[in-house]
């Protein structure tokens, strides 16, 4: 049976000691020294925060995925020239009909 990945104590220490704000500030100060007239760097120095947050909403819920698959199936089954402009209900019925 496979076991999960084990993290070493040294890895945990490195992760704990990483300081995003300190490193970002040092990089921005280095840039500010090289480009003193850049207003974007000055604004960034005033607003240092962690910017890589994961999205809160799921991109594909089971319902959305099912609808997308049905839509793709319906479009593949009808030649492009013959595809009528369908509303949502008609498109769903059409997809179910072709799936049978």
Give a yes or no: residue 75 inside a domain: yes
Q: What is the pTM of this model?
A: 0.44
- 67 and 38 in one domain? no
Give a yes or no: residue 74 inside a domain: yes
Query: How many structural domains comprise the chain?
Result: 2
Domain that holds residue 26: 18-51
Give a yes or no: residue 1 inside a domain: no
Model pLDDT for residues 5-37, shown as the tens digit of each residue? 777 888 878 777 778 888 999 999 999 999 999
CA distance 28 to 33: 9
Give a yes or no: residue 77 inside a domain: yes
Give a yes or no: residue 88 inside a domain: yes
- 72 and 46 in one domain? no
Model pLDDT for residues 36-80, shown as the tens digit of each residue? 999 999 999 999 988 878 777 778 888 888 888 888 888 777 665
**Mean pLDDT score, 76-89:** 64
CA torsion through residues 54, 56, 62, 63, sign: negative
pLDDT of residue 38: 94
CA distance 38 to 28: 11
27 or 92, which is more confident? 27
């Amino acid at each position: 049976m496979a076991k999960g990945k084990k993290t070493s104590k040294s890895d945990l220490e490195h992760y704990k000691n990483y300081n995003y704000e300190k490193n970002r500030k040092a990089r921005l100060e280095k840039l500010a020294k090289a480009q003193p007239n850049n207003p974007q760097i000055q604004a960034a120095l005033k607003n240092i925060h962690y910017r890589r947050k994961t999205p809160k909403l799921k991109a594909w819920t089971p319902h959305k995925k099912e609808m997308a698959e049905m839509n793709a199936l319906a479009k593949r089954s009808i030649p492009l020239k013959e595809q009528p402009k369908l509303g949502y209900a008609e498109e769903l019925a059409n997809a179910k009909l072709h799936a049978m």
